[in-house]
Amino acid sequence: MRTPVVGAGLVAAALLALLPGCYLDLDGLSGGAEDGPGPGDPGPEPGDPGRCVPEGCGGPCVVAVGEAAGAPFAIAAVGSHVVWTSRAGDGAGDRIRRLDPATGAVDDLVAFTPGPGLLATAEGLVVWVAEDGLWWCPADGCAAGAISLLAFGPGEAEAVRGLSTDGRDVYWTVDEESGTAGELRRCSLAEGCGAAPERLALSVSHPRGVAVTPGDAGHVVWVQRGTGVEFGQVLRLDKGASSPVMPTLVAARLDYPDQVALGGAEVLWTWADPEGAAGGVSRCDLVASCAVEPLAPQAEPARPLREPAGLVVDGADAYWANRGGGTVMRCPTAGCPGYPEVLAEGLTRPAAVAVQGACVYAIDEADGGRVVSVPR
């Protein structure tokens, strides 16, 4: 059962329905999800404001909270499901959770995995980082148990800063304190990492987000966090490249790029000043020495792009959360002609987003951590 959100009344809801391009205010979101409908529960009633109808995304609403959410950390869509890593804090509740949007049911894809962190999905597969290594599992279930790709020693999981997969290989970035010996790594999902993963790029300065194009051919793109000539960069490699190879510099002299996503012919990334005073989403064509442009050149003063995170591209649109602004936004990947569309606001430091069907899902820190959904 998806628990209703306490929000505006019938009159307000009716007015909002008449306003094109309106935003959804999630101030006062409450409730949570159980692992399925309770006995005698008639379920949500169509047209009831604030209640979610499965597959209809009639929110805003809380999909999971409390034990059902389990302190979510990273979230992604895969096939007909939404999955997230759950870190309860005591270790006993560390797991991979799975939502079926058609029914609203939340269950365990993986009942236990220690300290799960970053998550990536593609081609019906889920890959994640845990304290003890790198793992994967089919999204429709892994009754035989999750499959180990690589075992980690103490502290190795914390060094992983970016994770992506195309369903064939998994790519991840590894940082270290000196800022001069980071790496981009890869290994095959079918064959595992063997004795050691493939090291695609060496001596990388503070690598962070990584993204890869789907299919057999294409690119892997990552960012180096920092500012100035040597640090704030976007780089790419051909997926067919052998290791190690010299990457192509896409953009340089950037200010603290962090997360990255790929569109059809463009690359997008988030950036944020460490002091929290500024932030944004930038874009450029996926070519060498691209012309960098802000994705959203304008933003309403009351709804700034502050600490943007969780960048996702779906079709011709980009979606992201603003941790410092408590909002979820959308823009065309070609750039916003005006203000970015605000899909939700009033959230508590939203950290990640996923797009599935008619909905956008976000992780929100309120109530100890919860998953919320809004219409896309």
Residue 173 token pair: 């970035």
CA distance linking residue 21 with residue 17, whole number of Å: 10
Residue 72, phi then psi, degrees to nearest 5: -65, 145
Distance between CA 170 and CA 160 in Å, rounded? 13
Sorted by where each starts, the structural domains of the chain and their CATH numbers stand as: 10-375 (2.120.10.30)
pLDDT at 37: 36
pLDDT of residue 34: 39
Tokens 């997969």 found at: 165
| The pLDDT value given to residue 56 | 61
Q: DSSP string spanning 251-267?
A: E-S-B-EEEEEE-SSEE
pTM for the structure as a whole:
0.86
Q: What is the pLDDT of residue 86?
A: 95
Of 261, 376, 367, 271, the residue nearest 323 (C-alpha): 271
| Sheet containing strand 105-110, strands side by side | 72-78, 81-86, 95-100, 105-110
pLDDT given at position 228:
79
Predicted local distance difference test score (pLDDT) of residue 41: 37
Residues of the chain under the 70 pLDDT cut: 1-56, 58-59, 89-92
CA dist 256 and 241 (Å) reads: 27
Token pair for 321:
């959360």
Quote the CA–CA distance of 332 and 318 in Å, as a whole number: 6
Q: How high does pLDDT run on average in the chain?
A: 85
Instruction: Please give the pLDDT value at position 275.
Output: 80
* C-beta separation of 121 from 140 below 8 A: no
Query: Residue 54 has what pLDDT?
Result: 56
- Residue 58 is predicted with a pLDDT of 64
